[in-house]
């Protein structure tokens, strides 16, 4: 794995990474993936805060430990961003939670438009 540039980790830097990670989690096209990654991101950052900070948000762990934990969460964030892009490319089915009307789509919206256009042409041909 690539080495992340070392810098002093502050509570605001951790909060910024948490915000970026939650934003990345919210970009998954699938409801189940969004919920899963949002939950584990929140849990990971809560654990980090318990492990390295006192009750008032001051960092009390050894700097090396803080750096290592931050790098691990940053690598997970980058991985999640890549997974969002990959999932968006190959996502085909809409979750019921994303489409409460009950209709399950098995093709992407772009493909659905092409299929709808094809059906319209077939209908026109039948009328001729």
SS (H, E, C) 10-58: CHHHHHHHHHHHHHHHHCCCCHHHHHHHHHHHHHHHHHHHHHHECCCCC
Most confident stretch, 2-6, 83-87, 89-93, 100-104 = 83-87
pLDDT, average across residues 98-123: 55
Is 5's pLDDT higher than 50?
no
* pLDDT, the chain, mean: 77
Of the two residues 117 and 71, the one the predictor is more confident about is 71
106 or 25, which is more confident? 25
pLDDT at 87: 85
Q: Tens digit of pLDDT for each residue in 57-88?
A: 666 777 888 888 899 999 999 999 999 999 88
Report the SS3 class of residue 96.
coil
What pTM was computed for the model? Answer: 0.64
Contacts of 105 (CB under 8 A, 6+ apart): 93, 94, 99, 112
**pLDDT value at position 45?**
92
Residues 53/70, Cβ–Cβ less than 8 Å: no
């Amino acid at each position: 794995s690539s080495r992340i540039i070392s810098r002093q980790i502050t509570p605001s830097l951790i909060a910024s990474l948490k915000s970026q990670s939650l934003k990345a989690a919210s970009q998954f096209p699938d409801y189940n993936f969004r919920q899963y990654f949002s939950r584990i991101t929140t849990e990971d950052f809560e654990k980090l805060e318990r492990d390295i900070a006192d009750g008032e948000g001051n960092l009390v762990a050894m700097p090396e430990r803080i750096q290592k934990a931050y790098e691990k969460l940053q690598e997970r964030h980058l991985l999640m961003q890549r997974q969002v892009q990959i999932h968006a490319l190959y996502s085909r089915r809409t979750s019921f939670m994303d489409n409460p009307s009950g209709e399950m789509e098995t093709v992407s919206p772009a493909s659905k438009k092409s299929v709808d256009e094809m059906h319209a042409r077939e209908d026109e041909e039948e009328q001729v």
